Amino acid sequence: MKRNSFLISLLLLLFCTVEKAAAQYYFYNNDYYDSKVVYEVGGSLDAINCLTDIGGNKGVGKPFVKDLNYGNTRLAGGAYLSATYKYAVGLRLEATFGQVGAYDSILKNVQNTTEGRYQRNLSFRTNISEVALIAEFHPLFMFIDWSSRDEQPPSLSPYLLAGIGFFHFNPQALLNGQWIDLQPLHTEGEGFKEYPDRKEYSLNQTNIPIGLGLRYEINSMLNVRAEFILRVLHTDYLDDVSTRYINPAYFSEYLSGNQLTDALILNMRNTNTDPKYISRPGSIRGDPNNNDSYFTFNIKVGIIMGREKVE
């Protein structure tokens, strides 16, 4: 009986030793083992902005950051949980909350260059609620096995990231001191039989986050990150603007009461500007050739878990 107990104890000790050896591949420092997989939980402070049909910079509209107006940047925030294998490949679940918006009146000082964008007088805001699954790729660790080298792995690591996200938005415009939801107004005839090519858009959609970052490990328990993440969208209606003006007479076929009044006002908002730029049915309201997007600059602080203290 004693012999059996001894064998069982020895097997348990051996099992624990093998398991522990498989879970670690080098010492992090004199105080901690470094596990193959470390976990991280943290928060993020973000600067968020968007690229849509509204606002922008001087001229008639240019690609990407050339048409970005930095004055529309706002604060956002988030939280995340991640797992990283040997510092090289990570997977994280992240939630981000913020608000983006734009307005044509920001172009007042350069209105002579915008060919009617300023006079169009459109504006919007929308809250963003996003959940994303994002993979990280750290080249300094993917192509170098630091466990087989004498020197310590670097504390600073640049990385690429990509994933898939799900987000909710709801574009609104300010009218007589109240924020009005725009999607139910069908301002460009989405869902109207007279415009069969304009489908009603959903307020819940997927996106593709892509970007790059820089991770700095402060100590065995804490790191910080700086990131830029662009969300590639599958919609051009983040701002409720995409294509051409419709005939406002059709609104009364589908809407009534306050919704009808709001749609007639918010569809065309440049009636008090230069007569040369007053919109008419069929004239350009937005650019359907490019979808909208939004992006964040993030500062993250994470708490590292999974390392075992040396006994």
Model confidence band, residue 22 (pLDDT cutoffs 50, 70, 90): very low
Looking at residue 17, its pLDDT comes to 38
Residue 286 exposure: Cα atoms within 13 Å on the Cβ side: 26
The one-letter code for the residue type at 212 is: L
Asked if pLDDT for residue 184 goes beyond 90, the answer is: yes
End-to-end CA distance of the chain: 32
Residue in the block written with tokens 């992006």? 295
The answer to whether residues 172 and 127 touch, using CB atoms and an 8 Å cutoff, is: no
Query: Which one has a higher pLDDT value, 105 or 61?
Result: 105
Tell me the two tokens of residue 28: 């992090």
Q: Which domains are present in the chain?
A: 29-309 (2.40.160.20)
> Whole-prediction pTM value?
0.85
Q: For residue 289, how far is the Cα from the chain centroid? A: 21
Residue 134: CB atoms within 10 Å: 22
Mean pLDDT (whole number) for 47-52: 94
Quote the radius of gyration of the chain (alpha carbons, Å). 27
Q: Which residues contact 307 (CB under 8 A, 6 or more apart)?
A: 28, 32, 33, 34, 35, 38, 220
Helix, strand or coil, per DSSP, at residue 23: helix
Q: What distance in Å separates the CA atoms of residue 121 and residue 293, rounded to the nearest whole number?
A: 21
Looking at residue 14, its pLDDT comes to 36
Phi, psi of 105 (to 5 degrees): -65, -15
The answer to whether residues 45 and 20 touch, using CB atoms and an 8 Å cutoff, is: no
Q: What distance in Å separates the CA atoms of residue 309 and residue 34, rounded to the nearest whole number?
A: 9
Asked if pLDDT for residue 52 goes beyond 80, the answer is: yes
Residue in the block written with tokens 């012999």? 3
Looking at residue 108, its pLDDT comes to 86
Mean pLDDT (whole number) for 200-223: 95
pLDDT digits (tens, 9 = 90+) for 132-166: 999 999 999 888 776 666 667 788 999 999 999 99
Burial class (CB in 10 A: 0-12, 13-18, 19+), 259: middle
Q: Which residues of 109-126 are buried (b: 16+ CB within 10 A; e: fewer)?
A: eebeebebbbbbbbbbbb
Q: Which residues sit opposite 223 in a β-bridge?
A: 217, 302
Q: Which residues contact 32 (CB under 8 A, 6 or more apart)?
A: 220, 307, 308, 309, 310
Looking at residue 139, its pLDDT comes to 94
The one-letter code for the residue type at 269 is: R
**Per-residue DSSP letters for 139-200?**
HHHHS--GGGSSSPPPSEEEEEEEEEEEEE---EEEETTEEEESGGGTTT-TT-TT-TT-PP
